[in-house]
Copies of this chain bind each other. A is one copy, B any other.
Amino acid sequence: MAKGKKRVEAITSMETDFTQWYTDICIKAELIDYTSTKGMFILRPYGYAIWENIQHYLDREFKRTGHENVAMPTLIPEGLLQKEKDHVEGFAPECAWVTMGGSEQLEERMCIRPTSETLFCEHYAHIIHSWRDLPKLYNQWCSVLRWEKTSRPFLRHREFLWQEGHTMHATAEEAIEETERMLEVYADFCENVLAMPVVRGVKTDKEKFSGAERTYTIECMMHDKKALQSATSHYFGDGFARAFGITFADKNNTLSTPFQTSWGLSTRIIGGLIMTHGDDNGLVLPPRVAPVQVIVLPIAQHKPGVVEAAEAVTRRLEAAGVRVKMDSSDQSPGWKFAEYEMKGVPLRLEIGPKDIEQGQCVIARRDTGEKTAVSLEELESTVRALLDAVHESMFARAKANLEENTYACATVEEVKERMSNQGGFAKTMWCGDEACELYMKEHCGVTSRCIPFAQEHLGDTCPICGKPAKKMIIWGVAY
């Protein structure tokens, strides 16, 4: 059978060229399109539907944890961006600047938001006056713009979609608790929805967000063993609040300064999905965010009753809350098999004359290719169980990849050697100095990914400089 020939041949294999394989999937699974706006991409319906499902889950979690959505302006006047020194130093070099409105030259240029801390702070200064006004737990879904030199679908866009949470609290403890809570929301979401195992940790000072006191991160390992920083959560202390003059009267009527957090996850995570789960036949989507969870294909569809039986199955699954689609178009079965493999649909349900006779259908899993005959009587429960099984086994596979490629190293040379042979995450002790991070970058080509929450004692000294070690740190090559 010409199963998938046309399309499968068109995609580069992972082993041959991982980068090209990745781009091929983005294009051929119809996730994105290029535009004449350099460095920016179109999210096509299939790509955007994945983002909608991500939004749906996260938005529910944000609301469940007491957050409210708002919309801030897209533009930030330069003076406002400059109010917090570290922040503007970090972001100004990658801002796009609006200098003209209509035919008028602006007196003060404005940047398209690279992130919105400054806008939120200006607003918080208006609306926070008393302890009654705290905490403020806000989030916004929007796009931001960073003028990157190079671009790659999902991983590095000049403009990307994201959500940014911005909160204000009466005490530092509460703000730190929030920062950690939201990291856990992300971690849980990655593992239980996207089937992407994460390493939770703290960024070094060198790698933290511009203006933050502390940045928490979840790091994922891709199929090529590189790291993807998948979401971050920042604790700001009261630095921005002081810069923006935000104060409140506490319960004793003393004027105090509140403490702040921000946290974000972007469409980058879709790049992460692709590189974690994809294979040489295309995308493999985790069932809980797949726009189509089950594709129903009538087999020998010209025969009487086949399309009707496929429709009946589709309607039953729809009624059971499954995201299901039937394809009874005149394309060949081979084309359809390849198409929905390329698109990573978790389950393919085939139903033909013989199946109908036997009161069954055949379900093939995208992740393993395994086929099962399923009695139509147990259709809904079996499909539900299969979707969960696909999720679990995708997670287990990714977890094994992470664990097999994370190792402890006692010397810089060991890091260098294993990194160049195996890739992955190297764990070492670390003294806490930025100089050692720079050394590792230069000698091993790695950056610090995080100081993981799950610490191990691998020794007493920093293998880079020999000074007493403070923490265990993880190194890797990052997207």
Chain A positions within 8 Å of B, measured between CB atoms, are 33, 35-37, 40-45, 48-49, 51-52, 68-77, 79-80, 93-104, 109-110, 112, 119, 122-123, 126-127, 138, 142-143, 145, 147, 158-159, 161
Contacts and interface: CB of A to CB of B under 8 A. Distances in A.
B96 A68 contact: no
A235 to B, nearest CB: 23
Lowest 10 A-B CB distances belong to which pairs? A45-B68, A40-B73, A43-B71, A101-B147, A97-B100, A37-B73, A102-B147, A99-B99, A96-B98, A37-B75
B71 A48 contact: yes
B122 A35 contact: yes
A96 B101 contact: yes
Contacts of A112: 74, 98, 112
Contact of A37 (B40, B70, B71, B76): B76
Given A43-B70, A74-B74, A142-B143, 5 more contacts: A49-B69, A52-B69, A74-B145, A96-B102, A112-B112
Given A96-B100, A100-B97, A45 B74 contact: no
A325 B65 CA distance: 16
A334 B355 CA distance: 69
A127 B71 contact: no
This chain: copies in complex? 2
Which one of A36, A142, A161 has the highest number of Cβ atoms from chain B below 10 Å of its Cβ? A36
A77 B37 CA distance: 6
Given A98-B112, A100-B99, A102-B95, A73 B123 contact: no
Contacts of A45: 68-70, 138
Contacts of A127: 33
A320 to B, nearest CB: 19
A93 B102 contact: yes
A243 to B, nearest CB: 14
A93 B102 CA distance: 5
Contacts of A147: 101-102, 104
19 contacts: A33-B123, A35-B72, A37-B75, A37-B76, A37-B80, A37-B119, A42-B72, A42-B73, A45-B69, A74-B145, A75-B96, A94-B102, A95-B102, A97-B98, A97-B99, A98-B99, A99-B99, A99-B100, A100-B109
A36 B102 contact: no
Which one of A35, A69, A126, A161 has the highest number of Cβ atoms from chain B below 10 Å of its Cβ? A35
B95 A70 contact: no
A183 to B, nearest CB: 23
Contacts of A74: 40, 74, 112, 143, 145, 159
Nearest to A69: B48
Contacts of A94: 102
Contacts of A93: 102-103
Contacts of A37: 73, 75-77, 80, 110, 119
Contacts of A109: 100
A146 to B, nearest CB: 9
A75 B40 contact: yes
Contacts of A95: 101-102
Contacts of A76: 37
Contacts of A40: 73-75
B119 A35 contact: yes
Contacts of A51: 71
A141 to B, nearest CB: 9
A302 to B, nearest CB: 19
A318 to B, nearest CB: 13
A100 B111 CA distance: 9
Nearest to A126: B33
Nearest to A118: B36
Contacts of A104: 147
A119 B161 CA distance: 17
Contacts of A161: 71
A97 to B, nearest CB: 4
Given A98-B112, A100-B97, A102-B95, A73 B159 contact: yes
A122 B145 CA distance: 21
Contacts of A79: 36
B75 A42 contact: no
Nearest to A100: B97
A95 B106 CA distance: 12
Contact of A70 (B42, B101, B110, B123): B42
Contacts of A158: 101
